[in-house]
Structure 1
């Protein structure tokens, strides 16, 4: 059974916002109590947070589909819908969040680091919130905005100060087991280590972490063996320690050649050339191993390596090795630039920034891009004429109509806002004219539109009718939706 997973693909769905409600207050002896439709709740968001108790992405391997709760719809009597619960996913320290095309979205390092991956949709406003001096009883409400839907790749890169690299069965797992409290699996066959192991080393005033990755072989940087899968776990290491088996049974093996092969793979992988190196000639408790270590040590020191003859079995030479690792880690931490304090940068919007752009697309289509216009379109119920008219008013006030005209758009041209396309018609009536709830006279055919005189006469007739008759003819809202 798989117990360690360091790369998963997550399919995330944030919660949708709840729809606003269309409702008219009803009470005995108060037939026109006004709109009282509540607002919809906001959808839940999906966030990632670094948890020190999590060390693998195994949970996401079995449950890659994640969905946050939707917001509840509004109700009558000014009752707002409940917000959807936010979903917080716990990930290991060192998790890198990438988009499907490989773009890095976040690098989560440090306990408590949080990143919002998918944002929940806004709840739609009910007709009570949409009422104003001219539109006193709106016959529509806003729809809830859909939540973000995104696929992300999570990759775990272990956060360690020292990385142990070397051929399989070189003794890396044995070494980390004696210098720290880590208890990796140890056996006498190649590729015993199949997952990275982390251990904490304490020596005097030095405390640092050591990562033991699966053994590398020639071609690891191109996907051979287990190298490509786990080379990324040493990317964050400040120091690299070559662990060399000086008592290998293979006669063709040479410690210097082994180090050259591993160095070639590190160079091919990239980004690790500047890390300081140490060399641990392991298994010197074996007579043949000590003899070979004494032979190759001058050659390695001539190349600039600091060489230590150690034995994980007898713990010979380990103290000097740990001191050397601690000194290099301390030097790397000192040389690292200090963390900059979090600063809030306020960038005022430019005076001439309308918040949207109008661009001409092939085929005579005009594309309007902007956060507000696209959100307004998503929240509009296009089955309701009054809602469409309200959208037209908002776009006109924002300046979309004017900018389309200046850009050269003609009546009947195709205009795209978000995922919707419209046949653009310059606004004929710039002001909303109260009429039947749920309808908008500006959307009717010109021949069917009543003149201003006819509308004034109809209003006078309604005021002159008895109260009971007027009450019977007055259109009433559809209630809660």
Structure 2
């Protein structure tokens, strides 16, 4: 059973952010020392990292669900929660990350290249961080945000300079075994090679990699045989080498027709038309193979191909082939533009960008979408009236209420914040702009007010006693 896997579907879930803490500092002789709730910790990210020691996606095939750790909640005495630990997932060089729709998210090439597949959730602020001159003692804290969770597809495209393509049993595995130190499976039956083999070849001062792609047959680009599964492994190569069998026992085949069939499959797959081609006529150690090679070679050279006659078994013509491929690879490398340092482009938002949108749907529901409103909703504890009022004030300051009025919203119209899956729906009241009035003087705690002088307290107590005595005298029967 093969242990090579080059395509997997992976579910990644980043860690959730820890909740903030609502706490009041207490100590001897100072029972109400102010808010001291700490912030929640950040959730861990899920990060894909290229590791040269990894050559297959087999581990993710067996374990397709990966989750980072959550952030810890904050605590009193201004203690912040511990951040979640990032989950590092090593992947082979040449891994392509796609979403469910097939859109490429990242192309990971080069040792150490990283891609954040899942962003950890932010930790919620504690009431100490929410305190201000107007809100001296918040009785609430913000909730931590959930981590990003999504399904992605990982596809491995072998990073090789030279790709050997051809019919099954054309001798590709034998050729790579004598050109490099690779030890692929070799046998005298078709489809011996079930997975791509990779070898390293040294020719003079040039070192290049060579890949043996499993045999192609007519219809490979549409999924016949193994071609569709492994054609992706030739996409990154600098040169394509057609390995043609000059000693085939099948009467309906010959090297020229084999070449035409493979070229047709490569053309249907697409994206490989600009790669230089080299033709290798293999098995010339067999008399009939040598005669056929001498017969077909002039025709192939007339078509513009560079042709080499070799025998992997007898080790004939290998040095010339190896150095010729090294020259092509070196020329291709020199022609590549020098990669510039990564530049970070900062695009500020437009002056008139409110950061949210308000749309009226067919059923009369007004939907609010935007990064800030949706994040604030996720952070709100709707069991706490003060937290709900704080959300109302934030939305009002952002301009959501004004936008709703402009869009034609009226009292008791339905308003949804967020997408259909996680939206918060409520009946809108324009008076929400005065959220503080609905909940009283939010953020002010009478326990933190300065105590009145003792003389004033005595006068207030005497006045209350006299008032009570006067009410008693009014109702006295005497």
* TM-score, length-scaled by structure 1: 0.89
User: 1-side partners of 2:391 and 2:452: how far apart?
Assistant: 29
Contact 1:169 1:189 in 2 (8 A): yes
Structure-2 residue corresponding to 1:426? 430
Structure-1 residue corresponding to 2:440? 441
CA deviation profile, 1:17-68 (whole Å, cap 9, x unmatched): 0111111112222221111111110100001010010110011011110000
Answer with 336-345 or 83-92: which moved more.
336-345
Cα 1:173–1:2 shift into 2, 3 Å: closer
Shift of 1:432: 3.2
CA deviation profile, 1:348-403 (whole Å, cap 9, x unmatched): 22222222222222211222221111100000001111000000111111111112
Q: SS of the residue aligned with 2:159?
A: coil
User: 2-side partners of 1:123 and 1:386: how far apart?
Assistant: 19
Shift of 1:110: 0.9
Cα 1:332–1:460 shift into 2, 3 Å: closer
Structure-2 residue corresponding to 1:263? 263
Listed as ranges, the matches of 1:230-309 within 5 Å are 230-309=230-309
CA deviation profile, 1:401-442 (whole Å, cap 9, x unmatched): 112212222121212111211211113563736xxxxx9239
User: 1-side partners of 2:26 and 2:125: how far apart?
Assistant: 20
1:213 aligns with 2:213: yes
User: 1-side partners of 2:394 and 2:156: how far apart?
Assistant: 46
Structure-2 residue corresponding to 1:32? 32
Contact 1:389 1:442 in 2 (8 A): no
Structure-1 residue corresponding to 2:113? 113
Contact 1:21 1:75 in 2 (8 A): yes
Structure-2 residue corresponding to 1:369? 369
Listed as ranges, the matches of 1:138-153 within 5 Å are 138-153=138-153
Shift of 1:124: 0.6
Structure-2 residue corresponding to 1:68? 68
Structure-2 residue corresponding to 1:479? none
User: 2-side partners of 1:41 and 1:213: how far apart?
Assistant: 48
Q: Structure 2: which 5+ runs fail to align? A: 462-478
Q: SS of the residue aligned with 2:324?
A: helix
Structure-1 residue corresponding to 2:182? 182
User: 1-side partners of 2:424 and 2:452: how far apart?
Assistant: 39
Cα 1:271–1:27 shift into 2, 3 Å: same
Contact 1:213 1:233 in 2 (8 A): yes
User: 1-side partners of 2:341 and 2:240: how far apart?
Assistant: 30
User: 2-side partners of 1:258 and 1:427: how far apart?
Assistant: 78
Structure-1 residue corresponding to 2:42? 42
CA deviation profile, 1:129-154 (whole Å, cap 9, x unmatched): 11112221111111110000100000
User: 2-side partners of 1:340 and 1:404: how far apart?
Assistant: 47
Q: SS of the residue aligned with 1:178?
A: helix
Structure-1 residue corresponding to 2:338? 338
User: 1-side partners of 2:197 and 2:2: how far apart?
Assistant: 15
User: 1-side partners of 2:35 and 2:152: how far apart?
Assistant: 43
Contact 1:50 1:90 in 2 (8 A): yes
Contact 1:428 1:442 in 2 (8 A): no
Structure-1 residue corresponding to 2:470? none
* TM-score, length-scaled by structure 2: 0.90
Q: SS of the residue aligned with 2:430?
A: coil
User: 2-side partners of 1:412 and 1:430: how far apart?
Assistant: 16
Shift of 1:203: 0.7
User: 2-side partners of 1:344 and 1:429: how far apart?
Assistant: 40
User: 1-side partners of 2:251 and 2:375: how far apart?
Assistant: 70
CA deviation profile, 1:43-102 (whole Å, cap 9, x unmatched): 000010100101100110111100000000111111111000001100000000000111
Shift of 1:341: 2.0
Contact 1:429 1:442 in 2 (8 A): no
User: 1-side partners of 2:33 and 2:226: how far apart?
Assistant: 72
Q: SS of the residue aligned with 1:111?
A: coil
Contact 2:401 2:433 in 1 (8 A): no
User: 2-side partners of 1:406 and 1:46: how far apart?
Assistant: 41
Contact 2:14 2:46 in 1 (8 A): yes
User: 2-side partners of 1:2 and 1:259: how far apart?
Assistant: 29
User: 2-side partners of 1:380 and 1:210: how far apart?
Assistant: 57
User: 2-side partners of 1:388 and 1:165: how far apart?
Assistant: 65
User: 2-side partners of 1:91 and 1:429: how far apart?
Assistant: 51
Q: SS of the residue aligned with 1:373?
A: helix
Q: SS of the residue aligned with 1:144?
A: coil
User: 2-side partners of 1:110 and 1:310: how far apart?
Assistant: 34
Structure-2 residue corresponding to 1:19? 19
Q: SS of the residue aligned with 2:164?
A: strand
